[in-house]
Amino acid sequence: MTIRAAPETVSPMSASPVCPRCGEPLVVRHGSAAHAWCHLHGAVTPLHHTALVAHDAIAAVTADARVPAWVPDPMPSGWAVTGLAWGGEPGARAIVVDCAGPAPLGGAAELVLVAEEPGTGVGCGYAGLPGLDPGDVISGPSSVGVEAAGQHAPLWAVPTREDRAAFVGEAYGVWLWLVMWPMNAAWLLVEPLRLLDLRERIYPDLPLGPVGEHLLPGR
């Protein structure tokens, strides 16, 4: 069963919007909720996020989203969804799903999945890259691949900071990013990873947890 909720329920659940590229607080332009100003990056699309992730919040954001909301399916053992962010309202042009759980090599890990239209800069913000899109990063053979809503999606490794691993590809005609902390959390991709689009189905036992450390870019 597909779960849907009215789009107008999104705003009351969202915290103050931040820059999609650096996570800094924004000054929202008077009379417009679609554009805002970052003191570092100028005019940007505000990145909204929930103070507490919940099934109804996910349903509200995905009800009229223009991009997928990806989540591992099945969720790795001990993992949970720990955050939700979106750019563009109504009709999200970017959706971020944050997940956290045990790292494959021990300790804790966090995984941010981003689906975004070109030109929003959200994925680059999490990967710690300048610019709005990955540019020349996607060239040559892919590094790994995932199954996104039943379709194979090749991913390319992105040069990033030493504290994380980042991969980018394309699915459903928009960018698909996987950014992980710490770097060795990339071992999650050794086994085939299947992704579910939460626009199609939000299962009632989807595990939820406290907000993750890396829910916002620039962290």
Per the structure, how many domains does the chain have? Answer: 1
Segment 33-58 mean pLDDT = 86
Predicted local confidence at residue 207, as pLDDT: 95
What's the pLDDT band for 218 if we cut at 50, 70, 90?
Answer: confident
Q: Which residues contact 12 (CB under 8 A, 6 or more apart)?
A: none
The CA–CA distances, whole Å, from 89 to 21, 68, 86, 180 equal 17, 15, 8, 26
* 59 pLDDT higher than 80: yes
Question: Mean pLDDT, to the nearest integer, of 13-27?
Answer: 85
Type of residue numbered 198? L
Angle at alpha carbon of residue 97, lines to 150 and 30, rounded to 5°: 125
Residue 132 domain-assigned (yes or no): yes
Residue 147 backbone class (left: φ over 0; alpha: ψ -120 to 50; beta: rest):
beta
Domain ranges, residue 191: 47-197
What tens digit of pLDDT does each residue of 117-159 get?
A: 999 999 999 999 988 999 877 888 999 999 999 999 999 999 9
User: Does 20 reside within a domain?
Assistant: no
Res. 22: pLDDT tops 90: yes
Residue 57 in domain: yes
Burial bucket for residue 68 (CB in 10 Å: 0-12, 13-18, 19+)? buried
pTM over 0.85: yes
Q: Has residue 109 been placed in a domain? A: yes
Q: In the chain, where does DSSP find H-type helix?
A: 55-62, 122-127
What is the bridge-based pairing of β-strands 194-197 and 144-148?
parallel
User: Is the pLDDT reported for residue 8 higher than 50?
Assistant: no
User: Is residue 57 helix, strand or coil?
Assistant: helix
Is 160 contained in some domain? yes
